[in-house]
Amino acid sequence: MKQNLSVNLLVRLQELDFTFDEVIIEFEKVFKENGMLGILEVILEYIDGLLINNISTAVIPKMKRECCSNDNWHSHGFTTKTVKTSIGKLKLRLKRMKCSCQTTHIPFHLFFGLSKKKNFSNELQKKCCELVCNQSYRRRSTNQLKSIGNLDIKKNELYRIVNSCDLDFQNTRNLKNINSLMADGTGYKPHFEDQKSELKIVVGLNNENRPIPIGAWIFKSWKSIGTELKKHNSPANKKLAFKPIANVLITDGEIALIKGLEHLVHHQQRCQWHFVRDFKNAYVYLEKGDKSTCRQIQNQIYEHINNCMNSLKKDEKSVIDSIVKAEIHLEELEKKLKIEKFNKASTYVRNARQEIFTHLKIILTTGEDVYRTTSLIERVMRELARRFKRIAHNWSEAGAERLARMLLRFTLDKKGWDKVWSQKIIITGNFKMETVGIFPT
């Protein structure tokens, strides 16, 4: 089925005195404001006419007449529909039909799966979500939409379009080929000054240490998150035991996090950077220790960690000796702190020392390279914190959770992002357009 549509383009030449740039700018202005939208409106209204003409045939399988089994529909006037797209705002005049059971229907809405409340296209929603992932809900995002498709969308409307996205951006089921898990959380104020919520995210690393986004949560605790991941990755046969989904859990040492997710892995790796940095919190701020003494202890720990890492360039025996030496030093440090009545600092060292060199032990046994810090997930958390703490304020929990899941997938898994959207923006290949020829008259 082919249909030729004619477009009249009026070109006025006042005098033969104008620039090349002027021609381009005027052409862009006309087609942005009137040309492309006008052509698209004509095409869509022509499709609406085709639907009316084929209302009682099987040519249109998507048509659903759920009111009754009667196919006797007749014309019942017109209705208007405004739809915002990435090229501008469409204003359509559509035909309305009435069934013998006195219910009214709009075939155009039924065919394209449109609702009366929804006034934007899926492709515009995708562009809005990508803009928000790059810039958050700022004035610059609305200005960029206006430059793309001459769309006057305010920040509140942009928020509504993005927040109505019903796609599931979680990746919690059937997790495979994951070598390590990283998890972290960041706090933000959702509504008022006296309220505070925590955004939690979990990221996986495959055998090549490439990030795999798993999920983001606000309403759930770390224990509930661990239970959810275990449930979604347990064998269908309940008689079979659950197998951990990853080899190593890499954390900054948060106790609730470790207890909630420890059953998902075989081993744990304490972030070496956090271990040294956060020792100051336990020694100085919690137990009023001397800052200069704290700095000396931190430097000694750094020295032992660096010696272990440098020993990788040597033989296996050097690595083992450096690990043993470092663990003995940490054990002695723990005992010394306990004798000096720095109990919290002593407990902090005891909790970390058995997990601080897990990555080296795995390298020695299996040869697999494992992260020793949480640097990868820290970069993601900085992006989240930038949006939730510095750019936007007064987030609702549901909106913040949805944006975090989008940002996690968009940042770490662009292919997965496009795949999820392709399931919503379906391209059948049954509609094609081409320009046959453009000639002056």
Which tokens hold the place of 3?
């249909």
The pLDDT tens digits of the residues spanning 263-314 come to 999 999 999 989 999 999 999 999 889 999 999 999 999 999 999 989 988 8
Could you list the beta-strand ranges (E) of 123-162.
Answer: none
Which tokens hold the place of 100?
């013998």
DSSP-derived letter for residue 262 is G
Burial status of residue 357 (CB atoms within 10 A of its CB: 0-12, 13-18, 19 or more): buried
DSSP-derived letter for residue 139 is H
Q: If you count them, how many residues does the chain have?
A: 441
The pLDDT tens digits of the residues spanning 362-405 come to 888 888 778 888 887 887 777 777 766 555 555 677 888 888 89
H-run or E-run covering 332: helix 316-339
Measured CA to CA, the distance from residue 357 to residue 324 in angstroms comes to 10
Q: Give the chain's mean pLDDT.
A: 83
Label residue 293 left, alpha or beta by phi (over 0 means left) and psi (-120 to 50 means alpha): alpha
Q: Is 336 helix (H, G, I), strand (E, B) or coil?
A: helix
The pLDDT tens digits of the residues spanning 145-203 come to 766 666 778 878 888 888 888 888 999 998 988 999 999 988 776 665 566 778 899 99
Which tokens hold the place of 34?
């009137």
CB 58 within 8 A of CB 78: no
- pLDDT above 90 covers what percent of the chain? 31
Measured CA to CA, the distance from residue 118 to residue 22 in angstroms comes to 38
pTM summary value:
0.80
Cα–Cα distances in angstroms (integers) from residue 366 to residues 101, 358, 436, in the given order: 72, 12, 63
Q: Residues near 188 by Cβ (< 8 Å), separated by ≥ 6? A: 196, 197, 198, 199, 385, 388, 389, 395, 400
Nearest CA to 345 among 333, 332, 357? 333
Q: Tokens 């392709």 correspond to what residue? A: 422
DSSP-derived letter for residue 125 is H
Residue/partner pairs of 422-431 with CB below 8 Å, 24 or more apart: 423/167, 424/122, 424/126, 424/167, 425/122, 425/123, 425/126
Q: What pLDDT shows up at residue 328? A: 93
Measured CA to CA, the distance from residue 381 to residue 213 in angstroms comes to 13
To 10 degrees, the CA torsion angle through 31, 34, 40, 43?
Answer: -120
